[in-house]
Structure 1
Amino acid sequence: MLVTGAGRGIGAAVARLAAARGHDLLLTWRGGEDAAQATAAACREAGAAVELVQADAGDAVATARAFAALDRRFGRLDALVANAGITGPASDFLASTDETWAEVFRVNVLGLASACRHAAARMATGRGGQGGGIVAVSSRAAQIGSAFEFVHYAASKGAVDSLVLGLARELAGEGIRVNAVAPGMIDTDIHASAGIPERIDRIVPNIPLRRMGTPEEVAETILFLLSPASAYVTGAVLPVGGGR
Structure 2
Amino acid sequence: MAKKKILFINQEITPYVPDNALSLMGKNLPKVMQERSHEIRTFMPKWGNINERRGQLHEVIRLSGMNLIINDTDHPLIIKVASIQSARVQVYFIDNDDYFGKRLIERDEQGVEYDDNGERAIFFARGVLETVKKLRWVPDIIHCQGWMAGVVPFYVKTAYRDEPSFAETKVVTSLYNKSIEKDFGSDFKQFMEFRDAKPELLTDYKDTFDFDELGKLAIDYSDGVIQAVPDASKVLCDYAAAKNKPLLGYQEDFGDAYEAFYESLYADEAK
TM range (shorter): 0.3 to 0.5
Comparing both structures, which one devotes a greater share of its residues to helix? 1
- TM norm structure 2: 0.44
Greater relative CO, 1 or 2 (CA 8 Å, sep 6+): 1
